[in-house]
Amino acid sequence: MPGSSRVGSGTAAPTGTVRASLSRRDQRSRRLLRTGLVAAMIAGFVLSLLTLMAVNPFRPADENAHVGYVQSLVEDGRFPEVGEQVLHRFDAQPLKGVQHTANHPPLFYLLQAPIWWVGDQLDDPLAAFYAGRVLSALVGALCVLLVGLIAFGLTGRRRPEVGIGAALYLATFAPFVTVSGFFQNDSVGTATAALALLGLVGLALRPDRPRWPLVLVVAGCVLAPLARAQNVGVVAVCCLGVLLFPLLRAETRTRAAVLRSVLTVLVIGAGCAVTSGIFYLRNLNLYGDATGGAAVTALVRLKPRGESVLDDLLEPGTWYTLFINQPVWVGVWQGPRPGGRLWVSMACLGVIAVGILSWLAREFVMRRRAQLPGPRTAGRTLMAVRFLAAGLVLLHAVEAAIHVAGGGNLHGRYMFGAIAAVATVAAVGLLALPLGRRGPFLAVVVAVDALVAVTYIGFLATSRTAVLPGPDVGWVRRILDGLRNNGVPFAVPLFWILMTVLVAAIGSALLAIWRITGMRHPATPAGATGPADTPTVAQDSLGSARAAVSPSAGT
């Protein structure tokens, strides 16, 4: 009859009522998504804020060189060069230092320059230093948001709980939240890479409405290599996606769409050439290679290890460092003990791996049984962007292996440009576990990660101000000592306020996941006559609910 549709086995239900019910659920899930992402941002910012306040200035070995870079821009009006001395210009700064970050592209330092100029005018460089750390922490919180949105997009915008889970994973990931509290360029580099990937995911989801996704892709791709040299791979992957997407759908396989994609890539290339390209040419002229890595390696007297790139890629420790890199050797409940809590991160990795295998098995069975209504794929462009994200992870691993084979040190931050893909896989795996749909396993991993992060902050806060504490000195005391050493007022109440906010933020994000997944199977819509009138709900390629409402059979 008019205004109805055939649902399930043939019982009619009002089309308008079904659609209104689904629309209300969708609006509510989007509100919960926003709540969860904001809560994750707060959690990540709290951990970075605790880092920047408790850890001594210049405790990280690279901070002096990063500060010296900004000082050269503001006070000397020039870019520094690798190997020159970093001058001692205020009390907290080390007396001696060698510039080993001058080969880095300048975006982070240009953002910090106005802050440093104000501090210079006020004759308070230490305040400018801490303000620079705050800026880094704020950008780190922005990264959490961008990663959550990317993860949500990679599910076809159908599983908001995956977006929240990925954001929470990054917000409590110790290597990221601690380095985001330092005067270093890692959070800015991660944010620009994530911006480009977010635009690429948006373009894959809506190739017929490409304006804003293309703006994000172009902006991210131009800024990314201006922030970190590792982000050149992000630009390559995004350009490949921009060229590929119009060819994968019949409705966008037009001359205009193809021309637009080619023009976009040309704009990206031109933008990179006149910004970061000029800087990399400078490196080539000064140091003999575009990244300047060889000059830095020679400066710090690192020698090639005699291993090939393939050897480093096949080394399990490489993948552990890039994908986990949790400083669990600090100890979760006790003082620093090398290897003392290695099992914690390995157990978390094992749980994620089991979840991914569980999801793949369920996906295979559902495909074989043809239980999915409508198209049996999530869309060619969406599948393509997932493969591109996976390829970006592999590309970053290869870049890291090349660096290590050349004598460089391996750091987990070398995977930050592809951290969105890693966090998405982790969230999907934890939510795909049996009995894990509503987030209990995710909650355990996030709680462990947060505890490890806070413990690591305590280690960093005291490792250069006192003798390493023994097992009888807890992480709370170490952080409080760090806060007091740095002159933070009301250290004790401030610490516990931050811990309360951290727990509340994590709890709010997990509650949002619980409520979203609780709406997965809707109740009988108002106006329907019984259970048979409830729309049939199936799972798509990432497990999200979708109502199977067929067109009306007649009048």
Better-predicted residue by pLDDT, 360 or 413? 413
Instruction: For residue 520, tell me if it sits in a domain.
Output: yes
CB 203 within 8 A of CB 164: no
Rounded to whole angstroms, how far apart are CA atoms 421 and 201? 11
Angle at 119 between CA 117 and CA 121, to 5 degrees: 70
- Residue 101: inside a domain: no
Which residue in the block uniquely carries the two structure tokens 């060189």? 65
Domain-embedded: residue 333: yes
pLDDT band at 94 (very low <50, low <70, confident <90, very high): confident
Summarize pLDDT for 5-51 with one digit per residue, the tens.
Answer: 444 444 444 566 656 665 777 788 889 999 999 999 999 999 999 99
Q: Pick the closest to residue 105 from 228, 219, 196, 190 (CA basis).
A: 228
pLDDT digit string, tens, across residues 374-402: 444 448 888 899 999 989 988 888 888 87
pLDDT score of 236: 96
Position 391: which residue type? G
Q: So what's the pLDDT on residue 477?
A: 86
How far apart are the C-alpha atoms of 323 and 423, rounded to whole Å?
A: 10
Structure tokens of 536?
């049939």
- Residue 67 pLDDT greater than 90, yes or no: yes
When divided into structural domains, the chain yields a total of: 1
- 379 in a structural domain: yes
437-462 confidence digits (pLDDT tens): 888 889 988 998 898 888 889 888 87
What confidence tier does 550 reach under pLDDT thresholds 50, 70, 90? very low
Cβ 82 vs Cβ 103: under 8 Å: yes
Question: In the structure, what pLDDT confidence band is assigned to residue 523 with cuts at 50, 70 and 90?
Answer: very low
pLDDT for the residue 63: 93
pLDDT of 243 > 80? The answer is yes
Any domain includes 76: no
Give the model's confidence band at 355: pLDDT under 50 very low, under 70 low, under 90 confident, else very high: confident
Rounded Cα distance between 480 and 322, Å, is 30
Mean pLDDT, rounded, for 400-426: 82
Q: What is the pLDDT of residue 199?
A: 95
DSSP code of residue 286: H
Average the pLDDT over each of 106-120, 151-165, 352-366, 476-490 and give the range with the smallest value. Answer: 352-366
Taking residue 411's Cβ as centre, other Cβ atoms within 10 Å add up to 17
Residue 102 lies in a domain: no
In whole numbers, what is the pLDDT of the chain averaged over residues? 80
Which candidate, 421, 422, 433, places its Cα nearest to that of 362?
Answer: 433
**What number is the average pLDDT over the span 197-226?**
92
The pLDDT tens digits of the residues spanning 471-496 come to 434 778 889 989 998 999 999 999 99
pLDDT of residue 467: 41
Cα 455 to Cα 336: distance, rounded to the nearest angstrom: 9
Domain assignment present for 91 = no
> pTM here?
0.84
Query: For 265-296, how does the pLDDT look when each residue is reduced to its tens digit (9 = 90+)?
Result: 999 999 999 999 999 999 999 998 898 888 88
Q: 366, 337, 276: which is closest to 475 by C-alpha? A: 337
d(CA 447, CA 443): 6
Q: What is the pLDDT of residues 320-344, one digit of tens each?
A: 666 665 543 333 333 334 344 455 5
Pull the structure tokens for residue 373. 């209504």
What percentage of the chain exceeds 70 in pLDDT? 75
Give the pLDDT of residue 10.
Answer: 44
What is the DSSP track for 227-248? H-GGGHHHHHHHHHHHHHHHHH
In a domain, 95, yes or no: no
Structure tokens belonging to residue 162: 């995956």
Q: Which residue has the higher pLDDT, 16 or 68?
A: 68
Domain limits for position 357? 4-60+130-529
Q: What is the pLDDT of residue 474?
A: 72
CA pair distance 110, 235, nearest whole angstrom: 21
Decide if 100 contacts 299 (C-beta within 8 A). Answer: yes
CA angle 23, 27, 32 (to 5 degrees): 145
The pLDDT of 135-157, averaged and rounded, is 96
| Distance (Å, whole) CA 498 – CA 58 | 23
Q: How far apart are CA 263 and CA 269, in angstroms?
A: 10
Q: How far apart are CA 508 and CA 320, in angstroms?
A: 30
**Interatomic CA distance for residues 329 and 334, integer angstroms:** 10
Distance from C-alpha of 306 to C-alpha of 92, rounded to nearest angstrom: 40
Query: How much of the chain exceeds pLDDT 90, in percent?
Result: 46
Q: Rounded CA gap, 2 and 244, in Å?
A: 42
Identify which has the larger pLDDT, 411 or 452: 452
Number of H helices, E strands in the chain: 20, 4
Between 366 and 486, name the one with better pLDDT: 486
